[in-house]
């Protein structure tokens, strides 16, 4: 199978590319390298430096004729989306539509979309949230992810494009960017390894569902081979607070310092955790990596990087 991966130089996308190539697939990567890194791209992948909004994208589809698409390229910073919702929509909605139009024109059979569990549900009514939980996104980022899911239903019903939307919890692991606003695991890890003081917004009691990147990769691979059309949560069903995360990473890094609490960010969700029962029943997926073990792998990756 030939799979085109948008955002394939990024944190999650590059791991998906590696797994697909290891399984014997041909892989094409589109990435504008705005946040992805060329060093992340598997040398056996065909790489195109391009923006998903470009008219050039259709020519790539025409040349490569992929059977399936994993669409991960996106503006992923929630705070950027709040500050500039127009930019967020241009990348996450218009960019996705550009890819989808090329899929229809060039006979793509399957589309796997990186959606968001926490961002589209907003402040939850019950815990953990199932896929039928009310959708109350609190950021333009969450709105764009949900919007693309609606477009996917349209493209399936009208054009026959098979699709699976994967609503990720908070993904962490090797190659995560420690320099943006997203990725608290990577940010904490790098700061502690360097002996710098990590910053916690508010009292640190806010919780998230942290899922290891290797588990997310397996969900993508299973979705590519599935005939299921719809959305799945990809998480652990377990909440961990920022304070829990700080303690676990402190233990893993051997950090001897302290943390700094700053005022909470306006509009930040207090609790987010998602139920993975549907993807387990339909595709047989469940998380395998315990948080403490996954953090250990992540710390070792960053320890090697800063040597």
Residues in the chain: 307
Angle at 17 between CA 24 and CA 71, to 5 degrees: 120
**Distances 159 to 57, 101, 136, 139 between C-alpha atoms, Å:** 19, 10, 28, 30
Query: In whole angstroms, what is the distance from residue 88 CA to residue 279 CA?
Result: 28
To the query of whether residue 172 is one of the catalytic residues in this protein, the response is no
Residue 294 in tokens: 């996954």
Q: Which residues contact 213 (CB under 8 A, 6 or more apart)?
A: 11, 12, 15, 171, 172, 173, 174, 175, 176
Query: In whole angstroms, what is the distance from residue 57 CA to residue 50 CA?
Result: 7
Residue 126 in tokens: 């019950």
The single residue of 48, 121, 141, 168 carrying the catalytic annotation is 141
Instruction: Report whether 121 contacts 128 (CB < 8 A).
Output: no
Query: In whole angstroms, what is the distance from residue 146 CA to residue 113 CA?
Result: 11
**Looking up tokens 């799945």, which residue turns up?**
232
* Helical segments of 195-290, H only: 213-224, 242-253, 277-283
Instruction: Report whether 7 contacts 13 (CB < 8 A).
Output: yes
At residue 201, φ and ψ (nearest 5 deg) are -80, 130
Q: Which residues are catalytically annotated?
A: 141
């Amino acid at each position: 199978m030939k799979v085109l991966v948008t955002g394939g130089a990024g944190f999650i996308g590059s791991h998906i590319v590696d797994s697909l190539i290891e399984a014997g697939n041909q892989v094409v990567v589109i990435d504008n390298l705005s946040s992805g890194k060329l060093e992340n791209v598997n040398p056996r992948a065909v790489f195109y430096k391009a923006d998903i909004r470009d008219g050039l994208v259709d020519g790539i589809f025409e040349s490569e004729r992929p059977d399936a698409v994993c669409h991960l390229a996106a503006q992923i910073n929630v705070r950027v989306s709040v500050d500039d919702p127009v930019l967020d929509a241009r990348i996450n909605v218009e960019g996705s539509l550009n890819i989808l139009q090329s899929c229809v024109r060039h006979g793509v059979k399957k589309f796997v979309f990186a959606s968001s569990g926490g961002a589209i549900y907003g402040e939850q009514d019950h815990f953990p949230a199932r896929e039928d939980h009310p959708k109350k996104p609190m950021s333009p980022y969450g709105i764009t992810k949900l919007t693309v899911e609606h477009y996917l239903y349209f493209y399936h019903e009208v054009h026959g494009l098979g699709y699976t939307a994967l609503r990720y919890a908070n993904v962490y692991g090797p190659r995560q960017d420690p320099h943006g606003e997203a990725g608290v695991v990577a940010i904490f890890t790098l700061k502690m390894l360097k002996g710098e003081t990590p910053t916690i917004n508010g009292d640190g009691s806010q919780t998230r569902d942290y899922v290891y990147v290797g588990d997310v990769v397996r969900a993508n691979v299973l979705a590519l081979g599935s005939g299921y059309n719809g959305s799945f949560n990809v998480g652990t069903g377990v909440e961990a607070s920022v304070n829990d995360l700080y303690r676990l990473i402190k233990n893993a890094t051997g950090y001897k310092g302290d943390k700094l609490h700053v005022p909470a960010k306006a509009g930040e969700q207090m609790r987010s955790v998602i139920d993975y029962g549907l993807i387990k029943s339909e595709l047989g997926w469940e998380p395998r990596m315990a948080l403490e073990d996954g953090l250990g792998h992540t710390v070792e990756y960053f320890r090697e990087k800063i040597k």
